[in-house]
């Protein structure tokens, strides 16, 4: 890092004196413990994973609320893919009476 500086001083006795000093400071820092760097990277990675999970959960929650209220994003909308993969469990898992009927048919 490069930091310029100026130091000025005015003195009013006889004779009047003005001092001016200009300079610069150059500094650099090197971590002595590289474990802290890796720890910082690991914490940043965990934070990003948590934020991705939070986004996915909130997205699913809000899409489910829309479906529950009877709303749906139009398929020609640019936002349609946002809720495209959120489906009710009833649409994925067959109901128990249909599953038991299918099991009884296959055993005969």
* Residue 87 confidence (pLDDT): 84
Binned at pLDDT 50, 70 and 90, residue 100 comes out as low
Buried b or exposed e, range 22-47, using 16+ CB within 10 angstroms: eeeeeeeeeeeeeeeeeeeeeeeeee
Least Cα distance to 2 among 28, 30, 22, 29 occurs for 28
ω into 63 cis (within 30 of 0):
no
Looking from the CA of 56 toward its CB, the CA atoms found within 13 Å total 7
More confident residue, 104 or 32: 32
| pTM for the model | 0.51
Q: How many residues in total does the chain contain?
A: 108
């Amino acid at each position: 890092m490069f930091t310029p500086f100026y130091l000025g001083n005015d003195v009013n006795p006889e004779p009047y004196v003005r001092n001016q000093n200009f300079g610069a400071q150059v500094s650099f820092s090197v971590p002595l413990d590289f474990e802290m760097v890796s720890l910082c990277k690991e914490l940043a990675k965990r934070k990003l994973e948590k934020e991705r999970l939070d986004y996915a959960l909130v997205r699913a929650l809000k899409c489910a609320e829309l479906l529950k209220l009877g709303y749906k994003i139009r398929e020609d909308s640019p936002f349609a893919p946002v809720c495209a993969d959120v489906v009710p469990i009833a649409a994925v898992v067959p109901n128990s009476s249909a599953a038991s009927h299918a099991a009884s048919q296959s055993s005969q």
